[in-house]
């Protein structure tokens, strides 16, 4: 089933085990192969797989001409915050504040683009439009997930973290609490640091930058994930608070 098409690319939901395996192989190539990540279990066979794959919907972005998988991500729809304990993010963050969220939510994760297609912005635009279609169809009112920085050396991202602390922290009622054993508490450690805005922008991951441009917010600490060799921050986006001028971004415009 085609969800959305844009020029050279087609977005569709995975329908078969082979579709999901293709996504897992692209994820392994993006997150694990050639990096400092810990390789265990099925990952030794070239797959990035976990228990959440069985309960998620998997979006595939393919090149129309060749059928090659160029981008993928997975989505976990939740009826309300009462179900947030089922999410991948809940492994790393105490999300008790969001348990009271009354409306449909969707976790978006494992977003990756094939290295050979990262220079084409239409891949990301197609992915965002497909996601927006899902958000509207399910009447989702909050998107959330983990936004990752490459590597686990926080010093590389000091200006980026200082910017997050200064402008983009979650509202207190939704703020995730600490759960992971190893974190970088940037809001506390960098409370007096003024960010270099140019340096900060250069270090923000593209996906996080897109969330922030639409009014997204983050946790006050980053989780040190040695398994995937990343630092990541919990990221939330309340759909009803997206400025009208930015809403076109959510639709991939």
Is the per-residue pLDDT at 250 higher than 90? Answer: no
Cβ 167 vs Cβ 186: under 8 Å: no
Q: How many domains does the chain have?
A: 1
3-class DSSP assignment, residue 109: strand
pTM of the model: 0.91
Q: Give Rg (Cα) of the chain.
A: 17
What is the percent of the chain with per-residue pLDDT over 90, rounded to a whole number?
Answer: 75
Q: Which two tokens stand for residue 104?
A: 């449909």
pLDDT for 39 = 52
pLDDT for 235 = 98
Give CA–CA dist 204/242, Å, rounded.
20
CATH of the domain at 213: 3.40.630.30
Q: What is the pLDDT of residues 179-225, one digit of tens each?
A: 999 999 999 999 999 999 999 999 999 889 989 988 999 999 999 99
How confident is the model over 71-92, as a mean pLDDT? Answer: 97
How confident is the model over 43-51, as a mean pLDDT? Answer: 81
Q: What is the pLDDT of residues 137-146, one digit of tens each?
A: 889 999 999 9
User: Which residues constitute the domain of residue 137?
Assistant: 2-250
pLDDT confidence of 34, banded at 50, 70, 90? Answer: low
Long-range contacts of 24-31 (CB under 8 A, 24+ apart): 24/48, 24/49, 24/53, 26/69, 26/71, 26/72, 26/112, 26/114, 27/72, 27/110, 27/112, 29/114, 29/115, 30/112, 30/113, 30/114, 30/115, 31/110, 31/112, 31/228, 31/230
């Amino acid at each position: 089933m085609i969800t959305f098409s844009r020029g050279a690319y087609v977005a569709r939901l995975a329908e078969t085990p082979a579709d999901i395996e293709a996504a897992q192989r692209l994820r392994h190539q993006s997150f694990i192969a050639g990096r400092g990540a810990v390789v265990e279990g099925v990952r030794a066979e070239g797959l990035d797989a976990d228990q959440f794959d069985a309960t998620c919907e998997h979006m595939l972005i393919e090149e129309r001409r060749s059928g090659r998988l160029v981008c993928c991500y997975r989505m976990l729809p939740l009826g309300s915050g009462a179900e947030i304990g089922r999410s991948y993010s809940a492994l790393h963050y105490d999300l008790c504040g969001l348990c009271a969220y009354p409306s449909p939510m969707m976790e978006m994760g494992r977003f990756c683009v094939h290295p050979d297609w990262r220079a084409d912005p239409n891949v990301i635009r197609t992915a965002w439009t497909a996601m927006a279609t899902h958000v509207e169809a399910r009447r989702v009112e909050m998107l959330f997930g983990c936004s990752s920085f490459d590597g686990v050396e926080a010093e590389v991202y000091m200006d980026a973290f200082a910017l997050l602390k200064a402008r983009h922290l979650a509202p207190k009622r939704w703020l995730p609490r600490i759960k992971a054993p190893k974190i970088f508490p940037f809001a506390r450690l960098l409370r007096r640091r003024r960010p270099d805005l140019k340096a900060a922008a250069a270090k923000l991951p593209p996906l996080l930058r897109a969330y922030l441009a639409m009014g997204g917010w983050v946790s006050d600490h980053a989780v040190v994930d040695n398994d995937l060799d990343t630092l990541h921050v919990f990221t939330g986006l309340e759909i009803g608070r997206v400025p009208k001028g930015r809403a076109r971004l959510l639709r991939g415009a």
